[in-house]
Amino acid sequence: MSWDPSPNPNQTPNFNLQEFHSRYLTHTINYLSPSPHPLLPSPQIPSPPSSHGLPPMSPAPEGFSLRLIDAKHTFGQVNHPPEGNVIDLISDLNIDNKPIEETVQSHTKKIAELQTNGQRYCKEIAELKSLLALSSEVVKIKANVQSKMLQF
């Protein structure tokens, strides 16, 4: 924006809108912009503080090298069926620590046992429900027989 000194105090100064826009409006940051491509931050304007709560990144440890992430063992990447076999899911963990591996195996056996018991209990509950219906019919028949016996 150029403000040429005007000889007359009542005369309006020369106003260049394009210069004003390039000088002042392109350096602003719109933090609340819904645009997927916000304006790049200007080195003259400080960035907002990081609010994610994580400590600043430190340099990589000595001997550290980047490697690709195995998508098969990354959380959320494998589409296991919702009713998948627990043993198969746990076997995908590839645990190399012996005490932890033994603990996981014992827990896996217990989970499989609980699944088997749960399926058996579901069958027994269904059978008991059918027997309950039969029992109520027997009670009705007994009451009818008793009432007929009392009538004679």
Q: Which residues of the chain fall below pLDDT 50? A: 1-2, 27, 31, 80
Residue 122, domain member (yes or no): yes
Residue 124, domain member (yes or no): yes
Residue 19, domain member (yes or no): no
Dihedral (CA of 128, 130, 131, 137) sign? positive
SS3 131: helix
> Which pTM does this prediction carry?
0.29
Residue 151, domain member (yes or no): yes
What pLDDT sits at residue 40? 56
Residue 10, domain member (yes or no): no
Q: Give residue 152's domain range.
A: 103-152
Q: Domain total for the chain?
A: 1
- The angle at the Cα of 73, spanning 69 to 78, to the nearest 5 degrees, equals 110
What pLDDT sits at residue 140? 93
What pLDDT sits at residue 57? 73
